[in-house]
């Protein structure tokens, strides 16, 4: 079933020079003027492939970007802390080169021995990467005999360091890339039913295509987070624009378009009900029935629960921070009926513990369910890590934007080079 990708066993890697393309776009934290890796999940997820390469005496040249330095050498985005962390994990030297191209880099690469690990500096320090300059694809490809691609989280971008190298060298997937596609693919191709999708997060603009693509495949889509405000507004509940997304003129114009899309989506599922068991006949697209509101005027962070039933306006002096307890209970009862769950995006402003209750209740319900549970990375992964729930989920993706792209039904640009 699904997509057949080229894997490590499809290529003879013995003693080869390998461009190991990873997505080490990890959070860095500053401590006394120095940076450290804040979360090494993405480094850990590449270790299995790296060990495989070392066991075959490859010369491993690591390539990634970190952050968005925009083609400018920016010390705060150096891979130095990443190389250090990788070296600690793998217990071998990892030599970070002071650049991406040039004679010094080339000399170092030519001196590599089998099982050496070298990391090129952040490829987004290169203006050539930013400008999609094919010369960079040529230069990078010249460093190696083949590409082992394990950078799912960066696979939705079309750059010299992604499609550029893949189009020029024999390429296969590493273990992490293969497991991402194996986990996410069935959501689109052959879901098991009941299939429940839980979507939250701040921005509807990131999620609209995802909702449109998953809605026909899922039995139920549960909406939370600030994302829900757009749908509540589309349903006719007046909600301040500032709560929805940004305030600039351009954004307001964009919002209008997004509302139109939200309205279309609402219309397309109007009167579609799903029966998930006795007493549980629910609409296909479920919106919150209550919200936790935080006073904008009170200095004491006053909160209250606003029941949405029968309302056409929401009080203006309050900010809406979380789904309310009734919504959390409803969503939890729905996910418990599922056989397959996909979840992306916190359901409230979880950066503050007092507004994490709704997300936590639903997360625990998913964790405790018998369903196969798949989580799209980014903030959701961070939430699960913070609450030590990650192990209770079947699969937690390392991708952020890449998950959204993939599940929106757009083919990831790298895949055409990695298919069998």
What's the rounded Cα separation, in Å, for the pair 272 and 141?
A: 52
The residue (of 25 and 150) whose beta carbon lies closer to ligand 3PG is 25
Part in contact with ligand 3PG (CB under 6 A); list of ranges 150-158, 199-207, 265-273, 325-333: 150-158
Minimum separation from the CB atom of position 153 to ligand 3PG (A):
4
68 binds ligand 3PG per the rule CB under 6 A: yes
DSSP element (H, E) containing 146: strand 146-150
Enumerate helices (H) and strands (E) in the chain, giving the number of each.
16, 19
The residue (of 139 and 154) whose beta carbon lies closer to ligand 3PG is 154
Q: Which of residues 153-192 bind ligand 3PG (CB under 6 A)?
A: 153-154, 157
The residue (of 401 and 413) whose beta carbon lies closer to ligand 3PG is 401
Largest CA distance in the chain: 72
Helix residue spans in 77-226 (DSSP H)? 80-90, 103-110, 127-130, 134-142, 165-166, 175-189, 208-214
Minimum separation from the CB atom of position 180 to ligand 3PG (A):
12
Minimum separation from the CB atom of position 379 to ligand 3PG (A):
11
Minimum separation from the CB atom of position 68 to ligand 3PG (A):
5
Asked whether the beta carbons of 315 and 347 are under 8 A apart, the reply is no
Minimum separation from the CB atom of position 42 to ligand 3PG (A):
8
Q: Tell me the three state secondary structure of residue 309.
A: coil
Calculated CA dihedral for residues 127, 125, 76, 35, nearest 10 degrees: 160
Cis check: omega of the bond before 294, within 30 degrees of 0: no
Q: Tell me the three state secondary structure of residue 325.
A: helix
Asked whether the beta carbons of 117 and 95 are under 8 A apart, the reply is yes
Could you give the string, one character per residue 342-381, with x where binding to ligand 3PG holds by CB under 6 A and - elsewhere? ----------------------------------------
Pairing state of beta strands 34-37 and 28-31?
A: antiparallel
Minimum separation from the CB atom of position 35 to ligand 3PG (A):
17
Q: Which residue is nearest to ligand 3PG (CB)?
A: 25
Q: Two tokens at 273?
A: 């009900």
DSSP per-residue codes, 370-381:
SSEEEE-STHHH
What's the rounded Cα separation, in Å, for the pair 314 and 237?
A: 7
Part in contact with ligand 3PG (CB under 6 A); list of ranges 149-157, 268-276, 382-390, 409-417: 149-157
Angle at 168 between CA 17 and CA 53, to 5 degrees: 25
Show which residues are catalytic. 42, 203, 378, 401
The residue (of 290 and 405) whose beta carbon lies closer to ligand 3PG is 405
The residue (of 51 and 68) whose beta carbon lies closer to ligand 3PG is 68
Q: Two tokens at 158?
A: 């079309």
The residue (of 68 and 385) whose beta carbon lies closer to ligand 3PG is 68
Minimum separation from the CB atom of position 343 to ligand 3PG (A):
17
Part in contact with ligand 3PG (CB under 6 A); list of ranges 129-137, 151-159, 224-232, 404-412: 151-159
Could you give the string, one character per residue 15-44, with x where binding to ligand 3PG holds by CB under 6 A and - elsewhere? --------x-x-------------------
Q: Which of residues 374-403 bind ligand 3PG (CB under 6 A)?
A: 400-401
Give the footprint of ligand 3PG on this chain (CB under 6 A). 23, 25, 68, 153-154, 157, 400-401
């Amino acid at each position: 079933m699904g997509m057949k990708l080229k894997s490590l066993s499809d290529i003879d890697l013995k003693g080869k020079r390998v461009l190991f393309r990873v997505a080490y776009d990890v959070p860095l934290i500053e401590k006394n003027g120095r940076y450290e890796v804040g979360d090494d999940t993405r480094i850990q997820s590449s270790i299995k492939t790296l060990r495989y390469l070392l066991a075959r005496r490859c010369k491993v040249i690591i390539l990634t970007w970190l952050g968005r330095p925009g083609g400018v050498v920016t010390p705060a985005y150096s891979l130095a802390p990443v190389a250090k962390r990788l070296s600690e994990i793998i217990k071998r030297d990892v030599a970070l080169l002071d650049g991406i191209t040039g004679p010094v880099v080339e000399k170092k690469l030519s001196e590599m021995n089998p099982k050496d690990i070298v990391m090129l500096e952040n490829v987004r320090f290169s203006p050539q990467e930013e400008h999609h300059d094919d010369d960079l694809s040529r230069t990078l490809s010249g460093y190696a005999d083949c590409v082992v691609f394990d950078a799912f989280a960066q696979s939705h971008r079309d750059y010299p360091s992604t499609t550029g190298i893949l189009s020029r060298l024999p390429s296969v997937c590493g273990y992490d890339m293969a497991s991402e596609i194996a986990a996410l693919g069935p959501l689109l191709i052959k879901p098991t039913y009941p299939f429940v999708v839980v979507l939250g997060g701040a921005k509807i603009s990131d999620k609209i295509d995802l909702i449109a693509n998953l809605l026909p495949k899922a039995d139920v889509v549960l909406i939370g987070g600030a994302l829900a405000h757009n749908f509540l507004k589309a349903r006719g509940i007046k909600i301040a624009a500032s709560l929805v997304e940004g305030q600039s003129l351009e954004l307001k114009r964009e919002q209008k378009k997004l509302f139109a899309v939200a309205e279309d989506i609402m219309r397309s599922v109007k009167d579609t009900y799903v029966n998930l068991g006795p007493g549980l006949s629910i609409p296909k697209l479920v919106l919150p029935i209550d919200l936790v509101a935080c006073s904008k005027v009170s200095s004491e962070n006053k909160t209250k629960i606003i029941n949405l039933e029968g309302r056409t306006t929401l009080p203006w002096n309050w900010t809406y921070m979380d789904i309310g307890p009734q919504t959390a209970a409803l969503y939890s009862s729905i996910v418990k009926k599922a056989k397959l769950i996909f979840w992306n995006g916190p359901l409230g402003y979880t950066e503050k513990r007092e507004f994490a209750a709704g997300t936590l209740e639903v997360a625990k319900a998913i964790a405790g369910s018998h369903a196969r549970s798949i989580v799209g990375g980014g903030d959701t992964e961070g939430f699960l890590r913070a609450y030590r729930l990650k192990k209770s989920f079947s699969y937690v993706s390392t991708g952020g934007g890449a998950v959204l792209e993939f599940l929106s039904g757009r083919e990831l640009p790298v895949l055409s080079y990695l298919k069998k």
